[in-house]
Amino acid sequence: MFTGIIQAVGHIQQLSERAGGDARVTIAAGGLDLADVALGDSIAANGVCLTVVEKTADHYSVDVSAETFACTVGFTPGEPVNLEKALRLADRLGGHIVSGHVDGVGEVVRFESLGESWRLDIRAPHKLAKYIAVKGSIAVNGVSLTVNQVEGEAFSINLIPHTLEHTGFKALKVGSRVNLEVDMLARYAERLLAYTDATDKD
């Protein structure tokens, strides 16, 4: 589990393809402290929960499956990645509960300055739009954010200067694709209602 509070911005250093569409990906940690990271620990990269299989003082490697490549973006060598180590029970929960399991890929449709803050509009896949609510939480490339407006499949968020400075969002532009994870509470609520509707007929 994660909180969506980014701890460092690294970059994809190398991608070594393997059989079946899998790959080993090496990530430059970008100042993320790896001293307390053990092999087998999880680190979220752009919102994707990945297991550390090799590491040095400033780099680590993960194995990425073909399925993960098919469902996410952000593994091109040189591309910046938002990094967050897994949540510990004693940590502050500054964002919201993020699982690191990406639900889909959205597209940036607007990204512009509004005084000191920035407006970021993203078009979500149709299947995810129903989970996105005004003042609800969503993870974009692993960053916990609050939804300000929703119109159809598009939603709008405001980025304060601190968020822009300490994430990889500076590299976004119209047409950029981003990993989205909706609030897990919305998914559980839908499942609960659907199961009740289907079984409780008395």
Q: What is the pLDDT of residues 110-155, one digit of tens each?
A: 999 999 999 999 999 999 999 999 999 999 999 999 999 999 999 9
pLDDT in tens, 31-48: 999 999 999 999 999 999
Given a cut of 90, whether residue 88 has pLDDT beyond it is: no
Q: 189 falls in which pLDDT band (50, 70, 90)?
A: confident
Given a cut of 80, whether residue 156 has pLDDT beyond it is: yes
pLDDT of residue 91: 80
Strand 143-146 to 137-140 pairing: antiparallel
Q: Where in the chain is the domain with CATH 2.40.30.20?
A: 8-85, 104-190
Determine what percent of the chain is predicted with pLDDT higher than 90.
83
Nearest CA to 98 among 189, 4, 19?
4
Given a cut of 80, whether residue 183 has pLDDT beyond it is: yes
Domain 8-85 adopts which CATH fold? Answer: Elongation Factor Tu (Ef-tu); domain 3 (2.40.30)
Residue 130 DSSP SS3: coil
pLDDT of residue 198: 59
Task: Show the tokens assigned to 202.
Answer: 């008395």
Q: What is the spatial distance between Cα 143 and Cα 138, in angstroms, rounded to a whole number?
A: 8
Q: 196 falls in which pLDDT band (50, 70, 90)?
A: low
Task: Show the tokens assigned to 15.
Answer: 């991608």
Nearest CA to 16 among 64, 54, 50?
64
Q: Where are the alpha helices (DSSP H) in 28-182?
A: 66-71, 126-129, 161-165
Statement: 104-190 belongs to CATH 3.40.640.10: no
pLDDT of residue 97: 87
- Residue 29 contacts residue 60 (beta carbons within 8 Å): yes
Given a cut of 70, whether residue 200 has pLDDT beyond it is: no
Mean pLDDT of the chain: 93
User: What is the DSSP secondary structure assignment for residue 19, as one 8-state letter?
Assistant: G
